[in-house]
Amino acid sequence: MGWRVAQHGDKEMSGAKEGAELRLVTPGEAIGASSGVRAGTGTLIMGDNIIATKVGWVKENNGVTSVDPISSAYMPRSGDLVIGIVESVRNNLWFGDVNGPFNGLLPMSLAPWKVEFGAARQHMDIGDIMLARVQEVDEAHNIVLTMKGVGLRRLKEGIMSEISMNHISRLRGENDSTLRELKEVSDCRIIVAENGRVWIDGDSEGISFMRTVLELVRNDGHKATFSESLDSLIKERRNA
């Protein structure tokens, strides 16, 4: 991960309070009084105070105080679109690594193929990449995946790369605007999954351009200058 710079005093790039100055907090740091506000993600109420539980930027929205963490692990939620790597195969199910703390389980019944018992490997083997959706997560972190749905499939070509969780929104842009522009400019098919994995398929030049873009996201994704740098990359590509 090489994306660790933000300048204190950077203006918030998106969110409710336009132009509000960002405040970086560390675990245990009091954010404010707990009365009248609700504690959101990354915070905890301790006595009269709301305290941060993670390193991140304070965000206040509709009376909810939360901390936008700078680094966090992927925690699957039902409905998430994820790119998984098959880790092991049983007679009637697959286990996929979804970049989270636990492997996702894809049962035969939720696969897009008609699979005979014992023939799971013929459809998807260890190391294969799948585009799946999280069907269910229970309180013990058991993850059930599904590949029944529009577009969900085994990804046979293209490349896969990873970005950190908090850069996903930067790569997508508001209402996916940035992503749409990148698709158009690179002439590639791109999927940005909820678990920080990105799948790209197209001609080699397009893929190479997208690799540069992902490198920029990893290094500068949290900087205020990110949009400018990306725009100049896109412009360069258009003129080429």
Partner 1 sequence: MGGYGDVQLLREDGLRLDGRKVDEMREVKVEAGILPAADGSAWVQHGLNVAVCAVYGPMEAHPRKIQRQDRAVIDVRYNMAPFSTSDRIRPGFNRRSREISKVTAEALESVVLVERFPRSKIRVEIEILAAEAGTRCVGITAAAVALADAGIPMKDLIVGVASGKIEDTVVLDLDKAEDNYGQADLPMGILPTTGEIAFLQMDGDLSVEEYNTCVEYNMKAAKEIHELMVDALKRRYMEKNGGEA
- Which residues have C-beta within 8 Å of that of residue 177, sequence separation ≥ 6? none
The residue among 5 and 33 lying less far from partner 1, judged by its C-beta, is: 5
Nearest distance from residue 117's CB to partner 1, in Å?
26
Nearest distance from residue 91's CB to partner 1, in Å?
21
The residue among 74 and 199 lying less far from partner 1, judged by its C-beta, is: 74
Q: What is the dihedral of CA 161, 163, 169, 170, to 10 degrees?
A: -100
Nearest distance from residue 153's CB to partner 1, in Å?
27
The residue among 64 and 119 lying less far from partner 1, judged by its C-beta, is: 64
The residue among 24 and 179 lying less far from partner 1, judged by its C-beta, is: 24
| Alpha-carbon separation of residue 206 from 126, 190, 201, 217 (angstroms) | 28, 11, 8, 16
Residues in contact with partner 1 by the rule CB under 8 A: 1-8, 24, 26-30, 42, 44, 46, 51, 53-55, 69-73, 101-103, 139-141, 219, 222
Nearest distance from residue 77's CB to partner 1, in Å?
14
Using DSSP, state whether 216 is helix, strand or coil: helix
Partners of 33 in beta bridges: 49
- Rg of the chain over all Cα atoms, to the nearest angstrom: 20
Structure tokens at 29: 């740091």
The residue among 103 and 186 lying less far from partner 1, judged by its C-beta, is: 103
Residue 70 burial by Cβ neighbours in a 10 Å radius (0-12, 13-18, 19+)? middle
The residue among 186 and 220 lying less far from partner 1, judged by its C-beta, is: 220
Nearest distance from residue 19's CB to partner 1, in Å?
19
In angstroms, rounded to a whole number, what is the distance separating the alpha carbons of residues 54 and 238? 41
Nearest distance from residue 118's CB to partner 1, in Å?
26
> Which residue pairs from 71-74 have beta carbons closer than 8 angstroms and sit at least 24 positions apart in sequence?
71/1, 71/164, 71/166, 72/165, 72/166, 73/100, 73/101, 73/165, 74/98, 74/99, 74/100, 74/165, 74/194, 74/195, 74/196
The residue among 140 and 240 lying less far from partner 1, judged by its C-beta, is: 140
Nearest distance from residue 2's CB to partner 1, in Å?
4
